[in-house]
Chain A
């Protein structure tokens, strides 16, 4: 396209006729410049055309071009030899071929230049010329690249050499051409060769192309076709690289019989074949409007990217209905010319997620009716009752094997000495209480853990009341107040509530609530008392209790370790730090409470006794000879123990076997 544009511009401009005085000195010294008035014979013109080809319009070197003394000697010999070898008729034209001849009208030239195709290549003169050049006299290093190229061209048949008119500019060196030609145009070399062989008649070079209005007679078809190497040589000799470029013009003339205007020429804006004017003044194709044949020849750059797959045009142009969104995306990508990128990390996952069909809203399961719900509840109740009834026989038998008697034997054995020692340590501070001693008892468990904690609290309360102590309960949990009240009321038949037992209820604030125990006598009471007293110190038989110092023992009953720690930490920084403290805790909290247990060295923040769980309560009941809920549940507790042990062993065996199999 650039070539066509330049050609049109140059063709429209009148060719310049360089004066003889514009000939460079070095060329004049070589004797190439001939008097312009000397007649030129057609044979000489033919010889010059066959040897050096048509001269470009810019062959005339401007006057201001500096002298070029660095013309090599071999080039001078070449020119000289060419001039001498030419026939007497051709000798002068051969020299004149380097000289512009502006006397020839362009119309005649245009009509005559369009010659036959290069079916009869005038290769012989060129070959002779190369032989005369001879590189044997030159050292290998002195041989320029372009000369090597010329030698290679010589070895190639002329048919395969693209015609000179295809060069972008006659004044442009081959090196410049190579620099300007994009890489993708390199792939067009076969096409150019093909075009030179088949369609050379469509656009042969002419004097008009070169801008030279030669007065010579129209050359014959044999004289017309000149190899490119010769044109390049001529341009190298006569025009420096900075010379103004000349564009080849597309000749206008009748096409030979059987020849038609090629499609690419028609796409460039030329008229139909035989219209006479082709491309000289016709519309010039825009740079962005590449003809189809050129577009198809352009190599796809994305194809050279490894891993990038180009969608074939057939697939891109498919008009089949799109089945999925992915097909639509692929089609759109093909139409836009976007390459199909290779799958990268995560892309496949995202594509899968996107391509997944939209999840339809799941219908909520049908709601069960109230009747069905009640039926299910009744079924569950029936099943549980059946299990309970069937297990009665087993439980009665298990009671004998694992119940109270068995546990008593366990306590009497050396294995149970530790449990007995712990119980004795727990009971030691209680047993040493003086009469009417005030015991502060914390009830910090919830109804959820009452089954485990109630036996512990009940046995402790019985023991305390049996020691003639006065018990005041308090709770750090709201529900603990009611549980403590129930606990005290359970002993109300022997120890009426309000006489030896009182309930302070709920102490808000946890840690800060414990600090309020310093003013113990001022705290309000929980529950309805037979006597009208709102505070502890106002109740009869309790007037001596004013502060925490009046407390002889602290007993904490808790289902967690945190309340026990709160009691220990806060009491250790008060005046009641030296007061002994014991704790009855859940089995789950026992490991966390044990570090505070130190019966050998009582002191602040130390527990002098700890009992835990159902086993501790059962031992307490058996120690007081008052079997109760704890002893009754020992059989089930022991059975659960056995079940857990068996489960743990089986699980361990299965796990080890699975590991062995895996290894």
Chain B
């Protein structure tokens, strides 16, 4: 039973003491977690990111292009204290915003939107794609494709708030939209229910894992506690 295990066990109990209400033990553990996380992130950022980049830019690969990130870092630091006649931090911020926006928009368009549209369009309900009608009806893939198609259409119609068809077919058109909107509502409800249930089970898994670790640690120190013999 190492000192690390003891400290970890004590900290675990300190966090669980919040079940009895806010108390100094919980706050100590909370502050320790935040402090160590911030310190660890700073250390990792320096030794894993900044120091290698500085060495590469100033020593091994001395070039104007390699120095550019350092210049941008210096300009970004001007946000803290800068001369009144210079607003160099705007350049660094503009660079960050521009790169971030470009990557986000490009990735969302070609990585999510386009891929999802093509995947939905590739769904097939043709029994020939599954061999025949009987194999298609017995294939989970067929029913899965059908469920995906219905769910996608329903979810789209659920968000068609401002659609009010007119003309001769306005009545049937409105009924059509209301029907699919109701289907979409049920689909969205089930999706949110699945999200909630999975999140709850994930948190239970974390609790179970921690208790299991405690039992393992205590079993190492006192085997009869775990084995019962």
Interface residues of A, Cβ cutoff 8 Å to B: 368, 373, 376-377, 380-381, 384, 388-389, 392-393, 396, 418, 448-452, 454, 478-479, 481-482, 505-506, 508, 511-512, 515, 524, 526, 534, 559, 565-566, 568-573, 586-592, 595-596, 598, 600-601, 603-606, 612-614, 629, 632-633, 636-637, 640-641, 644
Contacts and interface: CB of A to CB of B under 8 A. Distances in A.
14 contacts: A377-B17, A380-B17, A396-B228, A418-B140, A448-B206, A452-B206, A524-B52, A565-B112, A572-B107, A587-B199, A590-B198, A591-B198, A606-B119, A633-B209
B48 interface: yes
B20 to A, nearest CB: 6
B136 interface: no
B91 interface: no
A511 B100 contact: yes
Nearest to A596: B115
Given A613-B201, A613-B205, A640-B208, A573 B100 contact: no
B205 A573 contact: no
B110 A588 contact: no
A451 B208 contact: yes
A389 B225 contact: yes
A568 B23 CA distance: 43
Given A588-B198, A591-B198, A629-B212, A506 B48 contact: yes
A632 B212 contact: yes
- The binding surface of chain A is classed by DSSP as helix
A589 B201 CA distance: 11
Contacts, number: 172
A605 B44 CA distance: 30
Interface string B41-71: 1001100110010000000000000000000
Given A392-B228, A511-B103, A512-B103, A613 B208 contact: no
Interface of B: 13-14, 16-17, 19-20, 23-25, 37, 40-41, 44-45, 48-49, 52, 99-100, 103-104, 106-108, 110-112, 114-116, 119, 122, 140-141, 191, 194-195, 197-206, 208-215, 218, 225-226, 228
A636 B211 contact: yes
Contacts of A587: 198-199, 201-202, 205
Nearest to B112: A569
Query: Is the contact region of chain B dominated by helix, strand, or loop, or is it mixed?
Result: helix
Nearest to B106: A573
Given A534-B52, A587-B198, A637-B204, 15 more contacts: A377-B13, A388-B215, A448-B206, A511-B104, A512-B103, A573-B106, A573-B107, A587-B201, A588-B203, A604-B110, A613-B198, A613-B202, A629-B209, A632-B212, A637-B205
A636 B208 contact: yes
A192 B5 CA distance: 107
B123 to A, nearest CB: 10
A572 B107 CA distance: 8
Nearest to A480: B44
Contacts of A418: 140
